[in-house]
Structure 1
């Protein structure tokens, strides 16, 4: 294999249906300096059968039960490129995505560059709810700006910046925690609107409900573990209002964007269902944190 300048890591979680389209758009035959690392578990056990043999494609079977951040972690460990791009199999990149990634010239002050995420034009009401929950803050139109946060589902990082936080990486590449560390290190994040992927959801209702619940449980436990007993109790006490807090933030982001207001009403039942999943999971995380010692 030729020199690798860029490692692309795709985490597959209930989305093997999109693998062929992703590989086609990345088109490694035109990018000999790019490696594609596909991480999956047994819930997508058909992944190896969907890929042609290629020197630049590497498969990693992550431990069963791994979530997307855990698969990203496994891919980052295996990557040999100085730069790593991360995404999920629920997002199909644009035809020029790899060229855009390779053209980005990051200064040492920039720890990560994120792009925009466009929803599938054929999305159902449930798919729109998932899009609003996960990606409304990264929906076009966007300007090229310095940002507080980017979506790791379409992002480029310097691998050395990530590897400075090995203890954090052991838990998985949970990007909000890394972004906070990057800012603490005096680095910034940027949004590049020409870096585009298309959200093509393949989660079922049950799968996404469980995904929200499990992610929230991890988040709640991590957030509260270092807090005092009083603060843990306060967080737990306030957790029932979380779905409504998140709903108000999502609706505000939709209004500010201005392009998707007609999608709100059809998506609303799904929004509430999935936000309840998150609120319940976060509450359980806070409850589990009560058992930890400071």
Structure 2
């Protein structure tokens, strides 16, 4: 498992004094067993937020991540949720707990580049978009399992970003206008699943954009076992969302082709690397773990298609 050291000693966090009297942005950071990366991640996100607003950590860890964050940053606002809660559910709770006109989402496995927040805000203002996302780069020393997670989850956000007709900001690196989300509250009741949110925003005529300079770096951590459970549960939600719009015959056909899903996804991953002028060679050590993750995804998607998403409870901080 990787360990990321924070750059220098960490001063105690105090409640910020807002510029112009009122906060304008909330950064919601979801953390799940992120004790190896939480210090470096929060240090940089807090530097980026500065006096523009606040950071909310929404934690569902079983490894003491929240306690570690509380000790290092005593003034930090922390919402605790049960282990097993997924990142979109953590983002939902952070969104509901915030009031600022702008809300950004990421995770404690990410470290933002300097100027990250200003790049997102600048792009949001220049485009008039409802949401703006940024690239997700892999850290230089990821384990094979973490590299597999990166390929499955983030390869589409590897720089250089290709030009595409339909932009899809990543859930782990995006900034939203709260006004654009008004009226969609019921849609994120089960979690802030960005693909569904983006689909509805487009239906309402809103635009989405990317800011090529607003990058975060994926640090890994958490282990393969956690990643397998998360991919299975994410896939079950995805399958449930799609299955709800299918006829029984369509669901049967989807189940029949489910064994082909890993091969299809590997082909997409290879194509995404090729678009960026990169081959699969440097990633070969990730393939065994990637195969397991793809199998977990396929099984979860099939289960969700027929049985719906896993039941989840809510815990109020």
Q: Please report the TM-score for the alignment, with normalisation by the length of structure 2.
A: 0.84
Q: Which residue of 2 aligns with 1:224?
A: 243
Structure 1, 62-71 or 111-120: larger mean CA deviation: 62-71
SS at match of 2:212: strand
Q: Kindly state the Cα deviation for residue 284 of structure 1 after the two structures are TM-superposed.
A: 0.9
Distance 2:90 2:110 in 1: 15
Deviations 1:187-223 (A, max 9, x none): 1111111101110000211110111111101111121
Deviations 1:26-56 (A, max 9, x none): 34597222200100124243323323223xx
Q: Which residue of 2 aligns with 1:175?
A: 194
Q: Which residue of 1 aligns with 2:294?
A: 275
Q: Kindly state the Cα deviation for residue 86 of structure 1 after the two structures are TM-superposed.
A: 0.4
**1:53 pairs with 2:79:** no
**1:76 pairs with 2:122:** no
Q: Kindly state the Cα deviation for residue 164 of structure 1 after the two structures are TM-superposed.
A: 2.1
Query: Given that residues 129 and 206 in structure 2 are in contact (C-alpha distance below 8 angstroms), is that contact kept between their aligned partners in structure 1?
Result: yes
SS at match of 1:7: strand
**1:101 pairs with 2:120:** yes
Structure 1, 261-270 or 3-12: larger mean CA deviation: 261-270
SS at match of 1:37: strand
Query: Given that residues 12 and 68 in structure 1 are in contact (C-alpha distance below 8 angstroms), is that contact kept between their aligned partners in structure 2?
Result: yes
SS at match of 2:154: helix
Taking structure 1 as reference, are residues 194 and 259 closer, same or farther at Cα in structure 2, changes over 3 Å only? same
Q: Which residue of 2 aligns with 1:7?
A: 26
For residue 40 of structure 1, the aligned residue among 59, 67, 87 is 59
Query: Given that residues 49 and 117 in structure 2 are in contact (C-alpha distance below 8 angstroms), is that contact kept between their aligned partners in structure 1?
Result: no
SS at match of 2:23: coil
Taking structure 1 as reference, are residues 231 and 29 closer, same or farther at Cα in structure 2, changes over 3 Å only? closer
For 1:1-294, list aligned pairs within 5 A: 1-2=17-18, 3-28=22-47, 31-50=50-69, 51-54=72-75, 57-106=76-125, 109-142=128-161, 147-289=166-308
Q: Kindly state the Cα deviation for residue 20 of structure 1 after the two structures are TM-superposed.
A: 1.3
Q: Kindly state the Cα deviation for residue 146 of structure 1 after the two structures are TM-superposed.
A: 6.8
Q: Kindly state the Cα deviation for residue 103 of structure 1 after the two structures are TM-superposed.
A: 3.5
Q: Kindly state the Cα deviation for residue 107 of structure 1 after the two structures are TM-superposed.
A: 6.2
Distance 2:49 2:294 in 1: 42
SS at match of 1:190: strand
Taking structure 1 as reference, are residues 284 and 108 closer, same or farther at Cα in structure 2, changes over 3 Å only? same
Deviations 1:4-34 (A, max 9, x none): 1110000001213222112221345972222
Distance 2:168 2:280 in 1: 23
SS at match of 1:24: helix
Taking structure 1 as reference, are residues 130 and 266 closer, same or farther at Cα in structure 2, changes over 3 Å only? same
Query: Given that residues 143 and 192 in structure 1 are in contact (C-alpha distance below 8 angstroms), is that contact kept between their aligned partners in structure 2?
Result: no
Q: Kindly state the Cα deviation for residue 105 of structure 1 after the two structures are TM-superposed.
A: 4.0
Distance 1:73 1:89 in 2: 16
Distance 1:279 1:29 in 2: 38
SS at match of 1:65: coil
Distance 1:29 1:285 in 2: 38
Q: Please report the TM-score for the alignment, with normalisation by the length of structure 1.
A: 0.90
The answer for unaligned runs of 5 or more in structure 2 is 1-16, 309-317
Q: Kindly state the Cα deviation for residue 59 of structure 1 after the two structures are TM-superposed.
A: 0.9
Query: Given that residues 118 and 199 in structure 1 are in contact (C-alpha distance below 8 angstroms), is that contact kept between their aligned partners in structure 2?
Result: yes
